[in-house]
Structure 1
Amino acid sequence: MPAPITSPARTGVAPAGGGHGRALGLLASLFFMWGFITVINNTLLPHLKSVFDLNYTQTTLIESVWFIAYFFASIPSAKLIERIGYQRSLVVGLLIMAAGALGMILAASIPSYGVTLVMLFVIASGITLLQVAANPYVAVIGAPETASSRLNLVQAMNSAGTMLAPLFGAYLILGRSKGGTAANGVVLTPAERLADAQSVILPYVLVAIVLVVLAVVIARFPLPAMGAATSRVAKEDRKNHSLWKHRNLVFGIPAIFIYLIAEIGVANLFVNFVSQPNI
């Protein structure tokens, strides 16, 4: 996150207005997409459990590998942004997500549980890069006093994506698969498992197309350049600005870690719990 901003002049970005409305709308679409794709992962849980006949540990790993990617990809994402800039990083993040979505088509065609995990990791890594680049972009793209309002607005778009994704997944994945529509206790044949695995091909083709289109639009869109407030200061100056001096950050990291453990457990195991025939 950039340092606190005190004036538009310091950011190097003009105050929000008509010129930045389209830019903010484009950035909001990114928040929508990564919320949408993240929740599709939850829709996949019962589907993949029936396709691969997974136990609870393997099912939980599907959700866990998604957030493990955040841990491993966050620092490399920051390094990439420092090297190529924010706008190009947004494009790269979208293309990484598109590559992961296309990889899910390969995983469905084989089908392979291991390849599925790798592709989910790739998609989540792309989302990590988007989050690292897009959040500070939204914060500095207009007047500093309205930064919180802009962040709330784009987060609302993220929530809209999480709301619509289950409908998309239920219709195009679960609704088109034998395991998603069969009665409880029905054992699928190998041919039915293969057909179920391939039912994710169309949804991920659509997702990949949308991501590539977004990447092209952002690459060609005249997003405002990030200002001096987001530039990396000299090494000597950084010695006096350690992040670990901020108590909110020090206590916030373990708090988010614990929260994610709870989120993974509830989102993952609850779906399996309510799927039991005696519930």
Structure 2
Amino acid sequence: MIKEHLKKMGNFPAEFFTTFRWREHLPSLLVVSAALLFLLAVWRIVYLVDVQGGLPQLASVRGLWWHAFRNRGPVEWMQWVFLSLTCLYAAALSGVYWEKKNRGAQVFWGLIAFSFLLMLIEDTGDPRHLMSYYGYNYLGISKMTIEGIFYLFIAAPIIYGFLRFWGVPFSFPQTRLYLITGGLLYALAASASVFRNQGDFYENLGDQLSLYLVEGAIPGFFFMDFALEETIELLAASLFFAGVLMYWRLMKKTRGKGS
């Protein structure tokens, strides 16, 4: 089944662009553009303050980058907006399909709403770190193992939903690249985060990227764990919500035609 799905996914880009209409995609493109512009502004201000020494009123002992990309900081606030919207729209879609007695679509969107609710709880409260602390110090379980299980618990409903109800989210070609790209970016960020404490992976790669992009102003580990991860996660959240929004609009459109 997975092999067949992967084969079909190879046609998704062509189908996406074949059906592409600017007016139809405008709301979703505005969502992604808002995230991109926000990130560009944050990175530009961080570079101006922490690298070039401009805007001294924004300077900080830790660096402006710390405040911009830290847990429960501005970049995460934007993520919360998209996570919340995805959760609400997915729950609404599940309700619509419950009324239409379409069990497959109802369950799929219910699973998406549940997973994004868990993601919102994780982002706002960081229970993963608390679980890792107690699991490691009192049970002797490695932090990587605990975080891996935690991420799997969050992702399991989405993974199951996409595998079991494949035809639901991809019934409209216009939604496909948004959902797939957003999902892959989330998978990338989560996978990197799980292995961040293994050896010097984060430090070495982060030092190189920080030196190249911000002249070493951000320590390597934090460049990866804060700046890069939060950037990827915000892009992922905006792309996934853009796909859900597109699905919602197309569903309403076809519903209005009596289908």
| Greater RCO, 1 or 2 (C-alpha within 8 Å, sep 6+) | 1
Normalising by structure 1, we get a TM-score of 0.28
Normalising by structure 2, we get a TM-score of 0.30
